[in-house]
Amino acid sequence: MVTAIQRTAGNTVATRMIQRTPTEDGQHRATQSHEAYEQTVDEYTKSGGPAKLYRAIRIATQIKRREKNSEIMAKADGDLGAGLSPAAEVTRLYQTLKNWPEAKDIEPVDANATFTVGHHVGGDNYGTQYISFSPHQDRSVSYARYNFKTGPAENLDYHTPKPRLVKNWAPVIEIDVNKLGSGVRLVNLANPAVFGQTNLSERLEIGSMAQGDGEVLIKGTIPAGAVTKVFGVEDAIKEMDLTARKELIEKDFAYGPRPRHEGAEQQDWDRVLKRTVPEHLQQYFGHLTEQPEEDEYVPSSMSVAERHKRRAAEHTPPEPESSEPVVKRPAKKRKKQTANLLSFNMDED
């Protein structure tokens, strides 16, 4: 009943505020089943929410903050690498995914947290009750390749995202909203009516990014069966042309292009490549270290006519072979030069 009244009231203070009771530890928890702006799957669908959503998944364990600044461990999505080591093997497992494994549900960092939407999208590394998705696959792929949330300042600038190393790229998953459980709640920040009820309406510097992404927050467990596609890291690399792959590697190095001359610098550059790109992805980048053979050095002091003459001589076609046998003439003997050019023989005139 309360929820129905709040929806009717629209974007008012009453719809945003819900009664909370302080717990003994000083934290606050909602007394109703869900926030006014959180929708069931049916409500979300009827209001025009996209059925397909995408996410660049978390592939490594991270440390996040609780409401009172204590730490909480955020496991990789699905925790596919449980019991597997070293970390490189876990990364390989995620980066070579073709299909999402059965019975590997995706959980929020802390299902019991009561963070606001602003906390979740603000990039402050909180362990919230929400999981972020976007209806735009290409935007999710960008989040897999670039770090837009390295700090408050970076959050505001889409033009200078920080590239992630290829070894940190993550797959992008697609989910079907209609396959989510009945207990799941969604916050569609692309919907103005929903956005206006969250505290993002007071933090437009953060909210504008969430709106641009069409961000949809999901609260609750995402069953493995709701994951309908996996857009893997290998797929992302294959879609890039060779020039883009080369530029990516050279940016990752910060050394610039691979040195053209063989030696210690070139070997060092190659070592960085192997450290930056994991072995299972080398086949897509390794050939970029190869350089074409260098042209023979021609002194710049040569005139244009001399250069053309030299090139013509280098490309003169061979003379046709003769049917007559070639007679070899003995080579003329050369006089042996004396050790000292100023000496002479006293017996000679």
Q: Is the pTM of this model over 0.75?
A: no
Quote the pLDDT of residue 3.
37
- Burial label for 147, CB within 10 Å (0-12, 13-18, 19+), is middle
Q: Residue-wise pLDDT tens for the chain (349 aa)?
A: 333 333 333 332 222 222 233 333 333 333 334 578 999 999 999 999 999 999 999 999 999 999 888 999 999 999 999 988 888 899 999 999 999 999 999 999 999 999 999 999 987 789 999 999 999 998 898 888 887 655 444 444 555 677 788 889 999 999 999 999 999 999 999 999 999 999 998 887 788 888 888 999 999 999 999 999 999 999 888 888 888 888 888 877 777 888 888 899 989 888 888 888 889 998 888 777 655 444 444 444 555 456 555 555 555 555 555 555 555 556 555 554 443 333 334 344 4
* Residue labelled with tokens 């070592």: 271
Quote the pLDDT of residue 245.
87
Q: CA 37, CA 297: separation in Å to the nearest integer?
A: 71
Q: CA 313, CA 316: separation in Å to the nearest integer?
A: 5
Cα end-to-end span (Å), the chain: 134
Structure tokens at 316: 């003169």
Q: CA 200, CA 223: separation in Å to the nearest integer?
A: 28
